[in-house]
């Protein structure tokens, strides 16, 4: 997941002004970047499954249904093709899984935090999701300016939390 305002502020003006999630009237907070079914034992990005099928364009109904979770049509298509199609039978199954995991996870209001750090963000997620969620199942990334960039939550295939690979 990533914080939409941080993502938008990282874009050049000419790009930002074309991104739906960056329009001033839109108020997206945490949004999903993707769900990446991966091989747990993989030691590099080359060990991960990629682009397993030549997928058709996502139907408009799917884009509309899940747009508030992942407010970028191109990203939705790319994540489904690159990662989702390697494990899920259909795009609907893939986006249903994303929605389920997003809704099950209690998320803090990072925008309301005073100068959040990776530790304070991680601790906020742990407080809200204990005792199931544990520290090694979360990876928090900050950008070069020290702003929150993204958080990764690691799951097994039954959607139980697992330790993330480093």
Expressed in percent and rounded to 5, the helix, strand and coil fractions of the chain are 40, 10, 50
Active site residue 53: no
Distance CA(76)–CA(128), nearest Å, equals 28
Active site residue 83: yes
* Mode of pairing for the β-strands spanning 138-142 and 148-153: antiparallel
Q: 53, 55, 83, 150: which one is catalytic?
A: 83
Q: 19, 53, 79, 99: which one is catalytic?
A: 79
Indicate the DSSP class of residue 149.
E
Structure tokens belonging to residue 72: 């970028």
Distance CA(121)–CA(33), nearest Å, equals 18
Q: 19, 33, 55, 73: which one is catalytic?
A: 33
Which sequence positions are flagged as catalytic?
A: 33, 79, 83
């Amino acid at each position: 997941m990533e914080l939409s305002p941080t993502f938008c502020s990282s874009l050049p003006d000419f790009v930002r002004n074309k991104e739906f999630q960056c329009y001033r009237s839109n108020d997206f907070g945490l949004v999903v970047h993707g769900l990446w079914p991966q091989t747990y034992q993989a030691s590099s990005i080359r060990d991960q499954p990629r682009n397993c099928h030549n997928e058709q364009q996502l139907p408009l109904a799917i884009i509309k249904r899940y747009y508030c979770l992942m407010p970028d049509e191109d990203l939705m298509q790319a994540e489904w093709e690159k990662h989702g199609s390697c494990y899920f039978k259909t795009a609907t199954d893939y986006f249903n899984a994303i929605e389920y995991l997003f809704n099950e996870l209690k998320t803090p209001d990072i925008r309301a935090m005073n100068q959040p750090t990776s530790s304070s963000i991680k601790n906020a997620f742990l407080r809200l999701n204990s005792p199931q969620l544990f520290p090694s199942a979360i990876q928090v990334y900050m950008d070069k300016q020290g702003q929150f960039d993204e958080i990764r939550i690691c799951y097994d295939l039954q959607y139980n939390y697992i330790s993330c690979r480093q």
